[in-house]
Amino acid sequence: MKHCLPVLLLTCATALAADFHAGVAKVKITPPQPFWMSGYASRTNQSMGVLQDLWAKALALRDPQGHRVVIVTTDLIGLHHNVSDEVFARAKKRFKLDRADVLLTCSHTHSGPVVGHNLSVLFDFTAEDKQRVLEYAAKLTDNMVNVIGDALKNLAPAKLAAGHGSAGFAINRRQRAANKVVLGVNPTGPVDHDVPVLKVTAPDGHLRAILFGYACHNTTIGGKGEKIADFYKFHGDYAGQAEAELENAHPGATAMFTILCGGDQNPEPRNSLELAIEHGKVLGAEVNRVLGTELRPVRPPIRTACQVIPLEFARHTRQTFEDEIKKAEESTKTSDSKYRKRRAELMLAAYNKGRPVRQTPLPVQAIRFGGDFTLIALGGEVVVDYALRSKREFPGENLMVIGYASDVMCYIPSKRVLLEGGYEADTNMIYYGQPGPFAESVEEKVFRSIHAVMKAAGAKAKPTK
């Protein structure tokens, strides 16, 4: 018995030293070669190899009250709800995790694979191609469910801390030209250079996981360029490079990147693999610097909330798409005519079934760790205005505002962007197979939901005057 007391005291001390239990797992999700890539309509070939493997990574956290949450990051263009809904359903059945307790994110790399039905208007697949894409999506679903389970199996005492850095290579891409907005470079447009970092360590200080994000498209490796073969190889772009830099610097730790509200943000400069590596090194170095500073301790409890809200599109009629088909057929030489025709045919098919597309669901989620660190996660390609406004309206919260979460169905413009027009407001809807721009209520409806989930998670908004 005299040998049991020191062991008991050591066990108690370890338990007291940890605020959470954490588990980390990862699984390779690089597709078999060759495989169709997503992100650029200009691509005409399947992949020609792999420059960097792609991963799904899971961070499971449990507080002392037993509330669990799992955050999954993926090196993918985005998830379609057919995949994410199946992951949520199976996580509920196998692991008893509620919808609000699972967050699925992506890096939005444009050097990754087609993911099921995501951006399907871009592709005119053969039956064989379509089958391979669906098989990959099914395997991806299995991998994501399994990596959640693996992370939960590895739960061990852990400490959390959070901090922020800054990286300056993101730039607003909504450039005004004559009387319209085009994709370009807008050095005076709104940006969010924040680099939020969540550090997960064992009680002895050993680094186990790093969750970090940045509001910028992963489009440094462009769809066009002199080294065209490079752009037909899988790669995580700047985000994948940053993860690799951090994991090399901290052997045994898992680095997890998620894109933030970067819908209208591009890396600058861009269009080469070398620049992707350079930007990744810059971001990785900044995260590493933050890890070495005095971070804010993150304490229990974990509180979560989620809503899936309908966002209404602007009014359209059958005639809208009949006219679009005629115009596309008359303008076959324009770069987007075939995509406009495909979109119009999808919309007319819905009309023929008596179910015209009037709205799309948007997931809105909050995960709050005590009063120390809070994730707001929105589906869709969210423009930067949402992050900037969230930080204004919740000044007392230490926020990480994530976009592209759980379902990437189209861009989510602010009212400002919607009224200005351009790709993020309207043109993107062609490639996403959506009927057209949103109604002007889009931003206010999203923020009503943000306020609802934040309130449910225990956060207080700035008082309205």
Average pLDDT over residues 250-258: 98
Residue 222 pLDDT: 79
Per-residue tokens: 414: 């602010």
Residue 335 pLDDT: 74
**Distance, CA of 157 to CA of 223 (rounded, Å):** 44
3-class DSSP state for residue 360? strand
Residue 152 pLDDT: 98
**Distance, CA of 113 to CA of 118 (rounded, Å):** 10
**Distance, CA of 61 to CA of 67 (rounded, Å):** 8
- Asked whether the predicted pLDDT for residue 165 surpasses 90, the reply is yes
Phi/psi for 381 (5° steps) reads -85, 90
- Asked whether the predicted pLDDT for residue 256 surpasses 50, the reply is yes
pLDDT band at 13 (very low <50, low <70, confident <90, very high): very low
pLDDT band at 41 (very low <50, low <70, confident <90, very high): confident
**Distance, CA of 351 to CA of 402 (rounded, Å):** 34
pLDDT band at 336 (very low <50, low <70, confident <90, very high): confident
Share of the chain above pLDDT 70, in %: 94
pLDDT band at 224 (very low <50, low <70, confident <90, very high): low
- 8 A C-beta contact, residue 169 and residue 270: no
Residue 464 pLDDT: 63
- Alpha helices for 250-296 (secondary structure H): 273-291
Q: Residue 354: which residues within 8 A CB-CB, separation 6 or more?
A: none
313: left (phi over 0), alpha (psi -120 to 50) or beta: beta
Q: Is the dihedral of CA 96, 99, 102, 104 positive or negative?
A: positive
Dump pLDDT digits (tens) for 272-313.
Answer: 999 999 999 999 999 999 999 999 999 999 999 999 999 999
- Asked whether the predicted pLDDT for residue 9 surpasses 60, the reply is no
Residue 223 pLDDT: 62
- Using alpha carbons, select from 375, 368, 210, 376 the residue that is nearest to residue 295: 210
pLDDT band at 16 (very low <50, low <70, confident <90, very high): very low
Q: Which residue has the higher pLDDT, 148 or 228?
A: 148
Average pLDDT over residues 441-454: 98
Dump pLDDT digits (tens) for 60-91.
Answer: 999 999 999 999 999 999 999 999 999 999 99
- 8 A C-beta contact, residue 125 and residue 133: yes
- Using alpha carbons, select from 122, 99, 129, 148 the residue that is nearest to residue 34: 129
Average pLDDT over residues 448-464: 93
Residue 109 pLDDT: 97
- Asked whether the predicted pLDDT for residue 455 surpasses 70, the reply is yes
- Using alpha carbons, select from 287, 279, 277, 282 the residue that is nearest to residue 52: 277
Dump pLDDT digits (tens) for 100-132.
Answer: 999 999 999 999 999 999 998 999 899 999 999
Share of the chain above pLDDT 90, in %: 89
Q: Are strands 156-166 and 20-28 parallel, antiparallel or unpaired?
A: antiparallel
pLDDT band at 355 (very low <50, low <70, confident <90, very high): very high
- Asked whether the predicted pLDDT for residue 419 surpasses 60, the reply is yes
Residue 7 pLDDT: 34
- Asked whether the predicted pLDDT for residue 50 surpasses 80, the reply is yes
Average pLDDT over residues 399-417: 98
Predicted TM-score (pTM) of the model is 0.94
Residue 465 pLDDT: 54
Secondary structure letter of residue 434 according to DSSP = -
Query: Which amino acid type is present at position 140?
Result: L
Residue 228 pLDDT: 45
3-class DSSP state for residue 133? helix
Q: What is the mean pLDDT of the chain?
A: 93
- Asked whether the predicted pLDDT for residue 318 surpasses 60, the reply is yes
Residues in the chain: 465
237-249 vs 273-291: helix crossing angle, rounded to 10: 40
Instruction: Name the helix (H) or strand (E) containing 100.
Output: none
pLDDT band at 398 (very low <50, low <70, confident <90, very high): very high
Query: Which amino acid type is present at position 128?
Result: E
